[in-house]
Structure formats: C-alpha cells, structure tokens
Structure 1
Amino acid sequence: MIDFRLKVFCSVAHNLSFTKASKELYVSQPAISKHIQELETEYSTRLFERMGTHITLTPDGELLLSHAEKILKQYKQLDFEMNLLTQRHIGELRLGASTTIAQYVLPPYLATFQQKFKQIKLSLINGNSSDIEKAVEEHRIDLGLIEGCSRQIHLHYTPFMRDELVCITSTRSRLAKLEEITIEELKRIPLVIREQGSGSLEVFEKALGTRQLKLSQLNIIMQLGTTEGIKRFLYNTDSVGIVSIQAVSSEIADGKLKVIEISDFDCEREFCFVQNTGQTGGVESDFMRYMTRKF
C-alpha cells in the first residue's frame, strides 16, 4: 500500500547517497535513480542538487521530505492498527542501540521477540549514545536504546533497566591483589575508559563530579571505542577499566576479570528507550512493552 517511491526518496535524502540507499533498501542503484526521476517528473521540480558524486536536497526536496516522513509514519501506524484487528503483528522495526546494550543486553531479547512475532522485520544499528540519539532525530531508526544521563529536550526517554559501572582488572594483573581502593588511590592507578560521546563515559564523569573530581585528575592511559577493546587491553596491561557489569559478568564467572570495589563511590545509571517526542503506538510500542515485561 505504501508508495515505495517515497520510501526510496527518504532513504536517499537521509543518506545523501544513491549508493547507500540502494544498499539500505536492497534495490539496484538504477532502480533508485528511476524512482527519484519519477518523483521529480510528477512534481515538475528537482529534489536533489547533483554536484559530482555529492548530492544535497533542494528546498523543494526539503518540503517533500517533511511530508513523506509523516506519510510513511501514518502508513506504518495504519498497518499496525489494522493488523491488531486480527491479532496479527506485522511490520518493520528499525532499532538502534548504544554499544553496551547492543552487545550484552539486547541480543537474547531480539531472538525471542522475533520467534514470537515472526512477521516483524527487525534491524539493528549500534554506536555510542549520541550516535543513536542523532539517528532517532533523523528518523533513520524507529526506536533507540541508550545508556548515559544526558537528555535532549526534543526527545522522549523511557527507563527500562538499571545498570552499574564497575572497576575491573585482569586476574593476571599485579593489581588483582586489590579488593577495594579509595577514590584517591584510583587517581594514581593506570586507567582505561570509553571514548567521548559514550554513555558509559558520561555517567562516569557525572559520578566523579559528585566527588569534585574531573577526568583530567585521573591517570588515564587510553580511551577506547568499545568495551571489548577495554577488556582485551586489560588482559595485557597492569591497569583498570570502568565498564558496565553487564559486559563482564561471564569473564568474572570464568575467572578472567575481577571487580575492584571503590569505597564510597556509586556509579549507577538507567538504560532508556529514546523516541522522538510525540511518537506513540506502532511496532516500537509493542517492543517496548515486551522488553519491559522481561525486566
């Protein structure tokens, strides 16, 4: 029922690339070009400015994009509500999750959700929390799942799970003899943390602030873009890392990593769903209810 040309147009507009739209929609690039040409012919206007290998939206293209996004959203809601009448769950759900959630929390729930709702097409992208918020804003995904504590005023956040950041080290490290340290001792120990923009780092910085400390006062020897990178780094150094307990439970159970307590220092957070303000209903609401019932 949906005019596929509008879906093609939105993909090209968001990616500013015919090639990326082709890969995203699993349609040949000539077919992508044909759909755009048909729209331009129908509305007697140019939707994109072509500058060599680069394209940008024209003012007319911006106008069409604002309407196309609303139309596609309404079609999606229509499909969902019509299928509810016969208790069928069908549609597409584009998810985005910050790194820790995507790697360590979400996969089992995606698997069971897809088994239960076989006619819902799931896709997942991952990045740091700010990447996912941006993807939600740009309508590249329907629902985000993020860590961290910052809030964008034009987005809506719904907590679904509590988490804790812990100090860990390799059991082969000389630091493994430590059971508990003070915050002052932490300042002197070689430390590896996540990159700027990650929810984990944001939460850690906020917790430090409650003790009147800044990152610059710590002995940070490395910032890495993934928790897996931090774990592998720790296996080969005498240092500690700050990571989600969700990410290291199996390594702790296997005796590869251990937690070093930091006295009088709490570093807790909530994982949240993130949506555009005013976005309700649809398959994403089903998924949120499903996840919430699990926790």
Structure 2
Amino acid sequence: MITFEQMRIFLAVAEREHLTEAAKALLLTPSAVSSAIHMIEEHYQVRLFNRIGRRIQLSDAGSVFVEDCRHTLAQVKLAETTLREFSGLKRGALGLYASQTIANYFLPPVIAKFRNLYPAITVKMSIGNTEQVENAVLSGVTDIGFAEGTIKNESLHRQKVADDELFIIAAKNHPLTTKPSVKFQDISAFPWILRENGSGTRAIFEQALANHGYDFTDLEVMQTFPSNEAVLSAVAASNALTAISKRAVSALLAAGLVERLNFLSVKRDFLLLLNPQRFKTKAVGAFIGLLES
C-alpha cells in the first residue's frame, strides 16, 4: 500500500520533473527518491514518468495521480493542523458532569473563567446525582466528574476541590427555630423532605447520623425530590425539615424565608473525579489547573 511519504516524494518529483532537484528539496539521496518512485510503479504495475533521455515527464497515469496526491496530502495537512489546534487549546470540547450543588453553586465562575481563557473550547455540562456522575466518569461519557459523598469505585482518581457543609433547615417560624439547641428527638418529631437516593447530600446526611449514633430510619421521610430547589420550596411551605448544602440555601437564609437549626454540623468535600484509564486532554489539564490556582 502506498504511504504518505511516497506520495510526498512522488509529488516533489512531479513538480520539478527532476529526481536530483526533488531529492535536494526533500533532503534525501537521489537513490532514495528513485527507489520510492520505483516501488510505487512496481506495486501497481504502472508507469508514473516517461524517461526521455536524461529528462523525465509525467505519464498519463502520473498526471492523474498528481491531483490525487495533492488532494490527499492537503487533507493530511488539515488533519495535522486540527490535532495541533486541539493540543494547543485552539479547538476542542470538554465534558463536565457534576452533582447539582456543585454544578449550580461552585462550577459556574470556574467555567466562565475557562471560557474567557479558551473561547474555542466547547464546554458541555451535564447534571445528575453523585451516583450518575460516578457512572458517567467510569463509562467515559464525560471527561471530568464532580461529586460529593461516598465514591464507590476505588479505581477512580479523586481530588478535593472545595469544602462544603450541610445545614439542617426549617421554614421561617417553625416550632424548632426558637430552640437554641435541637436534639434528635426534636427533629424526629417532624416530617422530612430530602434529595433522592443516590444523591451525595442524602448519603452524607445518613452517614453523619449513623456516625453520631442516630438511626436514619427513625425519621419520617414524607417526600424526596431530585433537585435542591424543589426540596427548599417544599420545606419553606411546610413544617418539614431538610438537610441541604449551605451553598444551596444561602440566598433563602439571607432573605429570611427559612432558618437553620442548631443540630449536627456536617462537613463534606467537593471531589473532582477522573478515570485514570482515559487520556487526559490539554483541555482537561487546563480546567484542573484553574481549579488548583
């Protein structure tokens, strides 16, 4: 099968109609150039040049093959340029998959800064719970995952990128908001509205209760929602309680629509997840660099 290098050699000879001049231009020996032309002719049983004395001229087949070579090598050059642009962050795409809290309250300013620095890189953001994020990173659906909570697959690379805290929240004027300190028996007397199973917020809250000797099943979970906003809206309009990120609830707290109860401070980390078996592109490295700066 003909190679790109043989095409380049043939094209150099065809444009000059001179083996020695082509060899000089290609920094090759005349014998190497002659051998490359001979190999093409022998393999395809076709004559590319007519030898006229000490001169050479393109044959009919050679004249047609010149245009094919020019087109093919132009496409190769375009492909090489594309790869260089990806390598130099002049083109490309970056896939992010994040849990809701991180996607809505932590990543937006980082993404904005990244887009300012690398406007030609398309950033695609997907949002799901921690379990969905982990699966997306494992399967290669996304380049970088962001989650909080327990990551089940030990093969994933994880890196802390920020701190967070869960607040126990009740509606304004809830009976428990007048208590300077709240006990487990107090909160277990009221219904709860929480994120769905699979969310990092839910998993960390359950684990925190267990770590302090409390049984999560003693709480009456009357409703679950797949979004922080839905949880907060429902809590603000009822006597139910919830556990939710301070980042998600800060605006409602400032507006006085909900209140924080003094019970069980729960710290957690925001984690960056990578699949070590996948190639780390320059765009991935640049985004991580922004997080670390």
TM-score w.r.t. the length of structure 2 is 0.67
The match for 1:276 is 275
- Taking the TM superposition and a 5 Å limit, the aligned residue runs for 1:158-173 are 158-173=159-174
- Taking the TM superposition and a 5 Å limit, the aligned residue runs for 1:122-201 are 122-201=123-202
Query: What are the ranges of 5 or more consecutive residues in structure 2 without an aligned counterpart?
Result: 1-79
1:242–1:82 distance in 2 versus 1, CA, 3 Å: closer
Query: How far 1:213 sits from its partner (Å)?
Result: 2.3
For 1:232 and 1:247, how far apart are their aligned partners in 2? 12
Give the aligned CA root-mean-square deviation in angstroms: 2.1
- Taking the TM superposition and a 5 Å limit, the aligned residue runs for 1:1-295 are 79=84, 82-83=87-88, 88-262=89-263, 265-279=264-278, 280-293=280-293
For 2:253 and 2:84, how far apart are their aligned partners in 1? 46
Q: Which has the larger radius of gyration?
A: 2
Give secondary structure in 2 for the equivalent of 1:141: coil
Alignment-mate amino acid for residue 238 of structure 2: T
Query: How far 1:80 sits from its partner (Å)?
Result: 7.0
Query: What are the ranges of 5 or more consecutive residues in structure 1 without an aligned counterpart?
Result: 1-74
Alignment-mate amino acid for residue 174 of structure 2: S
Give secondary structure in 1 for the equivalent of 2:265: coil
For 2:151 and 2:216, how far apart are their aligned partners in 1? 17
For 1:98 and 1:91, how far apart are their aligned partners in 2? 24
1:111–1:226 distance in 2 versus 1, CA, 3 Å: same
Query: How far 1:273 sits from its partner (Å)?
Result: 0.6
1:150–1:188 distance in 2 versus 1, CA, 3 Å: farther
Deviation sequence 1:169-226 (CA, Å, 0-9, x none): 1214344333430123222222211110000111111111112223211132222211
TM-score w.r.t. the length of structure 1 is 0.67
For 1:211 and 1:116, how far apart are their aligned partners in 2? 46
Bigger mean CA offset, 210-219 vs 245-254: 210-219
Alignment-mate amino acid for residue 104 of structure 1: Y
Does the CA contact (< 8 Å) of 1:172 and 1:235 recur in 2?
A: no
1:230–1:139 distance in 2 versus 1, CA, 3 Å: same
Alignment-mate amino acid for residue 270 of structure 2: F
